[in-house]
Chains A and B, each alone.
Chain A
Amino acid sequence: MKFISKFSSRTVVMPTTDIDTDQIIPARFLTTTSKEGLGRYVFHDLRFNADGSEKQNFVLNTPAAQGCGILVGGHNFGCGSSREHAPWALLDYGIRAVVSTAIADIFKTNSLKNGLIPVVVDQVTHETLLQNPGMELTIDLEARSLTLANGRSVEFPVGGFARYCLLAGIDQLGYLQQHLNSIARFEESRSWTP
């Protein structure tokens, strides 16, 4: 996996609260057996009219949003289903980090497994970001920091293990496999069997 721990990009802002995974990628696009190429479906029904033309007033379609790699979303971003297609689609579209005051559990876990950085910030910082779309931010996963255009930095929480795996390029499946002996011992020593 190509993963760059520190990067800078402008933000695109979607202030709506509770942006769910059905918004991020509608269910009818989940009939795929691959992870690739899902970017074209990101926010599909907000982005496109029924005839396939772009909705001009949707933020991702505006000229200012082109090339933005950081999505600032409203509170409780990514709620809803467990579809990993949501982070796959965002990454394929070019989004590398999502910033909000709260990010739903399963979406957060799925994101970290794929190198999409979930950044939870305080309300004051969030409000600043919502009010200033297009701000150039720097996200540094190693330092767990988000730096605003004015130089102010805030620290964000991120699971140490997920962070370590991303930074060191460690495959979590490989890590689990190192414990296969313990797993076998656990299976043998249980007082009951499922």
Chain B
Amino acid sequence: MNQRKTLFDKVWNDHIVVAETADTPAVLYIDLHIIHEVTTPQAFSVLRDHKLPVRRPDLVLATLDHSTPTTPVSTFKDLAVVSEGALNQISQMEKNCAEFGIDLLGFDSANRGIVHVIGPELGATQPGKTIVCGDSHTSTHGAFGALAFGIGTTEVGHVLATQSLLQRKPKTFAINVDGTLPAGVTAKDLILAIIGMIGVDGGTGHVIEYRGDAITALDMEARMTICNMSIEAGARAGMIAPDATTYEYLNGLPRAPQADEWDAAVSRWRELCTDEGARFDKAITISATDLQPMVTFGTNPGMVVGINDAVPDNLSDPSFRKALDYMQIEVGKPMTGYDIDIVFIGSCTNSRLSDLQQAADVVAGRKIADGVRMLVVPGSQQIKKAAEDLGLDKIFMQAGAEWRESGCSMCIGMNGDTAGKGQLTVSTSNRNFEGRQGVGARTILASPMTAAASAIAGKVADPREYL
């Protein structure tokens, strides 16, 4: 038997409480459980009904992000929540956390932000951990060599009560990316290209490991963008082996191992790589060198095209035709030139400081086009402050953009930040599903640079013309 293991195998094996059998799934221990207001209330109700405590409140990281307003206010007490339902959900979260002994990074916390932004930012996300959250973009944390995946609310209850989950071992999928990303082409473009290649169901049942020179060259924020969108290819999780870049990012963060524990942690983390010759269930190799900025043209993230390439003709497929009818996009011509209404810079995919910096570099000294609304929503309150310290807020506002408080905002459009019917948005988020950003709203997914360039041009634009 092949004893050589993948990164995934190592993390999986390290967390088996009870091994799986033909009849029963494994009991898998969870090291970090991140919770937010939208997918937890029903789970807390189950605990209450069964009179169960939260087993390890110290391993729960709780915040408010999904339905929270991002409108700028002088004090959080003035925040206007979109609906009574959302307000109730937020106060329920505050009540649940208080009752079950969980420390909530709420409105009064300088550390509040999007679940998948604050985990890494605080150093709670670490190599070799198992991390779950009632949110599919939990795959983000795999950028640190953690095994991280989204779960439903029933499973949120299981983890709260037992710190464990019932899981079948998924398959493994190696995506090797050789070469170097050209100027103006980012991690977002790379992951969109990958999803376009393997399809929105290409990763179903698998944990992807991203490997190769183009991946190891990425900084942590770019790696998070890659792993974040693994779920858009249907994958259970995405992982990248930790290395010096990972350790450097984590060193000194408040929830990372501290001075006396640091060396031991790093030597443990160094083992977290796929052994030479280990077998994956599936593997592909692609080159980053020839990539261009990518934009979506349809209603799923796999319907993607190079910024200067013509939208492909697949109209014989009724689902494809339906998507293009909805998007009001024509085949045979490129996406550049379509007039846009809104630009959204934000989400757990692209709301970190480097994302904001890249967008700011494009808009600096320029004005966004007449009639275009641009929202910039930092991923966390920490990022908001860091960006303000660099003066990015002023660059955005001088260009005519709105500078907001942190949250999921227009990525999921459940806090009131939405696009109107028929409006075309260039968005740095992760889903261009029908109606995702508002009823009848149309979404083009792109990198922060492409989104910013499009805001200036007033139409879908190639960011390389603005570098």
Contact = CB atoms under 8 A, between A and B. Distances in A.
Interface stretch (B355-363, B431-439, B444-452): B431-439
B344 interface: no
Interface stretch (A71-79, A131-139, A147-155): A71-79
A158 to B, nearest CB: 12
A82 B83 CA distance: 22
Contacts of A45: 434-435, 439-440
Contacts of B163: 183, 187
B329 interface: no
A191 B135 CA distance: 29
B4 interface: no
A183 B414 contact: no
A159 B168 contact: yes
A164 B129 contact: no
The dominant DSSP class at the B interface is: loop
B27 A173 contact: no
Given A22-B434, A76-B234, A194-B59, A183 B152 contact: no
Nearest to B131: A194
Interface stretch (A28-36, A62-70, A90-98): A28-36
A105 B204 contact: yes
A8 interface: no
Contacts of B29: 183, 186-187
Contact of A113 (B22, B41, B152): B152
A105 B45 contact: no
B57 interface: no
A106 B235 CA distance: 10
A110 B39 CA distance: 12
B201 A79 contact: yes
Nearest to A107: B152
Contacts of B136: 80-82, 106
A54 interface: no
Contacts of A20: 300, 431, 433
A104 B201 contact: yes
A31 B67 contact: yes
A94 to B, nearest CB: 21
B413 to A, nearest CB: 6
A113 B154 contact: yes
A39 to B, nearest CB: 16
A183 B17 contact: yes
Interface string B48-81: 0010000100010000001100000000000000
B32 A194 contact: yes
Contact of B158 (A76, A173, A186): A173
Nearest to B302: A18
A159 B23 CA distance: 9
B318 interface: yes
Contacts of B158: 172-173, 176
Interface stretch (B86-94, B100-108, B178-186): B86-94
B433 A33 contact: no
B164 interface: yes
Contacts of B134: 82, 84
B32 to A, nearest CB: 6
B266 to A, nearest CB: 12
Interface string A1-40: 0000000000000011110101100111011111100000
B318 A22 contact: no
Given A28-B414, A79-B201, A161-B24, A113 B162 contact: no
Interface of B: 17-18, 22-25, 27, 29, 31-32, 38-39, 41-42, 45-46, 50, 55, 59, 66-67, 82-83, 85-86, 88-89, 92, 126, 129, 134-136, 138, 150-155, 157-158, 161-164, 166, 168, 200-201, 204-205, 234, 236, 264-265, 268, 300, 302, 317-319, 322, 412-414, 421, 431, 433-436, 439-440
Would you list the 5 A-B pairs with minimal beta carbon distance, nearest first? A31-B85, A194-B31, A33-B41, A110-B152, A84-B152
